[in-house]
Structure 1
C-alpha cells in the first residue's frame, strides 16, 4: 500500500511539473521571441538599381594662350615711337613700335629714282636694238642694271618694314619691357601678345583611356581662383606619341574665355566626359575591402547578410560602380558592416 501511494505521488508530481512547464513556456514565448529578435544586428541597407553614370577621366592641366608671341625687334636702332598700353586688347596689324627709319626711307627714295631712270634708259636701248644688232650687248647690260637696282630696292624696303613693328594677330598686350628713346639691338623683347579669347588647355591622359579619346569630346575645367565655377570646352587635338616614361598621351583642348578669366600658366583640374551609360551603383560605405578584393553583404530572404565578392568600376562622389557580383534589385548593407559576419542575422533600421 505504501509503495502504491509513493508511485501515485511521483506521477502527480511529474504531471504537475509538466503542467507548470507548459504554462511557463506559454507565458514566456513572446518575451523569448522578442529577445531573439533583439539579438539580430541593426543595419542600414540599400537596394541596388541601375542609374545614369557619366564615365570620365580626371587630370591636371596647364592653361596656354591659343596664340602667344614675344614681340621683338629684328634690327638695331633707336626707338622713336612706342604704342604699348599694358593689358590693352589690340587688333591684327596694330602699330606697337616704330624704330628710327630716316636712313632707310632716304635710301628707298634714292633707289626708286635710280630705278626709274634706268627703266627709261632700258626703253631707249630696246628701241635701238631693233635697228642695230650691236646694241644687243647694251640691252643686256641695261637689263642687268635694272634687275640689280630692283633687288637693292626690295632689300631696303624689307629693312624699312622691319623698323615698324605691328601685332601679328589680335590679342592682349603684356607688360612693357622698354622705353621710348632707347637704343634697341636685334632680338630685344618689347612686350608679349596673347590671344586669350580661347585658352588652349594642355593635359595628359593615361594610356588606358587612349582608345576612348576623340577630338570633339566635352571637357570640364576648374580653378582654385574661381571656386565652384566650371569652364567648358572640347578636345582639339591628341598627340600622336605617348610619353615612354609616364605612358600617357598629351591632349589639347580649347576653352572659350570671353571674360578673360583664365590666364596662361594657370593650373586647372580637368575632367573629360568619355561616355554616359546605365550602370549599377551603390554607396561606397557598403564596400568591405579585404586584401586585394572587395566584398559587400547581400541580404537574403531570411534577413541573413551573405558576404559576396564584387568587382568595382568607376568611383564617384559617395558612390561606386559595380561591374560584377550584384544584380539590380539586390539589397546590400551600407551601415553596420563592421558588426556582422557572413550569415549574421540582421534587422533593418526602420523595419
Structure 2
C-alpha cells in the first residue's frame, strides 16, 4: 500500500534532549522515554488506499482486415510499421474482370434509360401513319376472308395442281425406267455385239503384231511396210474403241444409265416442292372457308387497331412501371459492379500503424490480409483480483508504470470494468479493468507490461498520524496513542488516549475522534525508568502493541 499524490507535512521532533523532569519523589516515579523514541504531531492532510494489479497495453482500435471477395493480389502498398491515415489503400486485387463488369453495367443502364426515354416520347407522325396503314391492311384482309375465294381462283389453282402432278409423275416414271434396266432381248443383242467387237479387236491386234515383225525384202519395201503398219494400228485402235463402246452398252443395260438416273432424280426433286405448294393453295381455296379464317384475321385487325390506339394515347402506366423497374435494376447492377471494384482495394478503416502483412503480390487473397492498430487509442487492460474489484469504480484515478520505464509514473483513469470474470484455468478469480492512459511522452507500444496502483478510497483534509504512533489492543479491539502534555512549569508527561481510526495505508492512519490537530504523540515504546533505592519497583505492564506495519 502507498500514498498516491498526497503531501503530508509531518513535524518529526527528535528526542535528543528529553523534557525537563520534576524533582523529588514525583520525579522518580515519572515515566521517561528511551533514547530511540521520537514525537510526532497530528496534522491535517489527505489519505488514500490503493489496490495493485498488472496487465498489458492494448489498442482500443485494432483491426484484422480482409477483403469481401477473393482474387489475385496485384499490388501491396504497405509494410509492417507504416503509418497510414483513414482510407489509405493497403493492397489491391487484379481488377481487369471487375472493370469490364462495370463497363457492361454502365452500357446496360444507358440502354435501359434510352428505352424508358423512348417510351415516354409521344409517337411520331410517321409511326402513327405506319400503324394506321397496318390496321387498314388488316381490315382489307378480314374483308377478303369474309368474301372467300372466287370461282376463277379455285379453277386456276386446280389446273396448276393437276399440271404439277402430271409433271412429277412423268419424272417419276422416267426415274423408274432408268432404275429398272433392259429387257432380256436387249441384253442378248448387246452381248453379241460385244463378242463381235472382242473378236475384231483381237484380229486387228494380231495383224498389227505380224506386220511389226515382218522385214522388207523383194517387192515389199520398207515404205510399204510402214504404210501397212499405220493402217493396221489404226484398225486396231478403232477395234478397241468399238469393244469399249459395246462393253459400256452391256454395262448400262445391266446396271442402268447413271446419268439418266441422276437427271430423273433431279427432275423429281425439283417438281416435288412445287406440287406441295400448289396443294396448299388448293387446300386453302377449298378448306379456308370464312369460319376457319375469320378468327385469325380478326385478331390481326384487333392488334393493329390496339397499336394505333396505344400510339395515340401513349404508354400505359404498367409499361412505364415495368421500364422504370428495368432502369432501376440496371442502376443497382451498376452500383453492385462498382462496389465490387471498390472492394477489390483494401483500405485503412482508421488512422494507425500497420502491424502485420500476410500476403504478397501474385498470391491469392484469402483470410486476414493486413493487421493494424491505432496508437492514439492505447489502453491498459488489468486483471484485478475479486478481493479488490468491489473497490474499483469507473472514473477512479490510477497511476501505472511500464516494465520498459519502471521509474516513470503515468497517470490513468478507470474507464470500464468487465461484467464477467476472465475465463482461464486459474483458480484465482479476476476481472478485467480498462484504464485510459494520461498524456505522456513515452513511445508506448501494444503488448507492453503495465503495473498499476488503483486508488480505491480517498479522504481529504482529515486528521492524520503515523501508524507507529498507534497501539492496538487486539483483545479489546481498541486503539490508543501516547499524547504528550506539558504543565505550566514546562514539565512534559505522556497520557494514553483511546482514539477511533478511519482510512489507513502503509504509513498513516486517519483519526476520526480522540485527538486534535497539533497534538504531539510518542512514536515508539513508552518505557518507564525508576530509581529503585527507595523500595520502588517497576509497575506491572499489560498487553498492547504498536499499530505499525501495513
Task: Give TM-score scaled by structure 2 length.
Answer: 0.48
* 1:87 corresponds to which of 67, 71, 81: 81
Higher strand share: 1
In the alignment of these two chains, the number of paired residues is 307
- State how 1:272-351 maps to structure 2 within 5 Å: 272=455, 277-291=460-474, 293=477, 295-301=479-485, 303-304=493-494, 306=496, 308=498, 310-316=500-506, 318-336=507-525, 341=541
Name the structure 2 match of 1:171.
352
User: Between Structure 1 and Structure 2, which shows a larger proportion of helix residues?
Assistant: 2
Aligned to 1:135: 315
CA distance in 1, matches of 2:349, 2:478: 59
Shift of 1:239: 5.3
1:15 corresponds to which residue? none
Q: Give matches, 1:250-265, under 5 Å.
A: 250=433, 252-256=435-439, 259-264=442-447
Residues 73, 362 of structure 2: 8 Å contact kept: yes
Higher relative contact order (CA 8 A, sep 6+): 2
Q: 1:265 to 1:190 in 2, by over 3 A?
A: farther
2: CA distance between counterparts of 1:324 and 1:73?
A: 69
1:50 partnered with 2:233: no
Give deviations 1:133-161, integer Å, cap 9, x for gaps.
46325433322221222122222222222
Alignment match of 1:220 (pick from 399, 410, 414):
399
Larger CA deviation: 111-120 vs 39-48: 39-48
Higher mean C-alpha deviation, range 70-79 or range 103-112: 70-79
Q: Which of the two has higher C-alpha Rg?
A: 2
Distance 1:112 1:86 in 2: 39
Equivalent residue for 1:101?
95
Corresponding residue to 1:71 among 65, 71, 77? 65
Q: How far 1:258 sits from its partner (Å)?
A: 5.7
Please tell me whether residue 147 in structure 1 is matched to residue 140 in structure 2.
no
SS at match of 2:60: strand
1:102 shift after superposition? 1.6
Instruction: Specify the SS of the correspondent of 1:303.
Output: strand
For 1:200, the equivalent position in structure 2 comes to 379
Q: Distance in 2 between matches of 1:38 and 1:56?
A: 39
Give ranges in structure 1 of 5+ residues lacking alignment: 1-30, 345-351
- Higher mean C-alpha deviation, range 218-227 or range 81-90: 218-227
In 2 relative to 1, CA 195–121 (structure 1 residues): closer, same or farther, beyond 3 Å? same
Structure 2 CA distance for partners of 1:199 and 1:52, relative to 1, 3 Å: farther
Question: Structure 1 residues 163, 219: CA separation in 2 closer, same or farther (over 3 Å shift)?
Answer: same
Q: Quote the offset at 1:251 in angstroms.
A: 5.2
Residues 247 and 175 of structure 1: CA distance in aligned 2, closer, same or farther (over 3 Å): closer
1:125, CA displacement in angstroms? Answer: 0.8
- Say whether the 8 Å CA contact 2:64–2:368 is kept in structure 1: yes
Q: Which moved more, 1:145-154 or 1:330-339?
A: 330-339
Q: CA deviation at 1:110?
A: 0.8
| Change beyond 3 A, Cα 1:200–1:157 | same
2:153 is the alignment partner of 1:159:
no
Secondary structure at the aligned position of 1:108 is classed as: helix
Deviation by residue 1:294-329 (Cα, 9 ceiling, x = unmatched): 63441454634626354241315x333333443323
TM-score calculated relative to the size of structure 1: 0.71
CA distance in 1, matches of 2:344, 2:73: 9
- Give unpaired runs (5+ residues) of structure 2: 1-22, 124-309, 422-427, 486-491, 529-539, 545-550
Match of 2:108 in 1: 114
Query: In terms of mean alpha carbon deviation, does 73-82 or 164-173 score higher?
Result: 73-82
1: distance between equivalents of 2:458 and 2:479? 27
- Deviation for aligned residue 1:174: 0.3
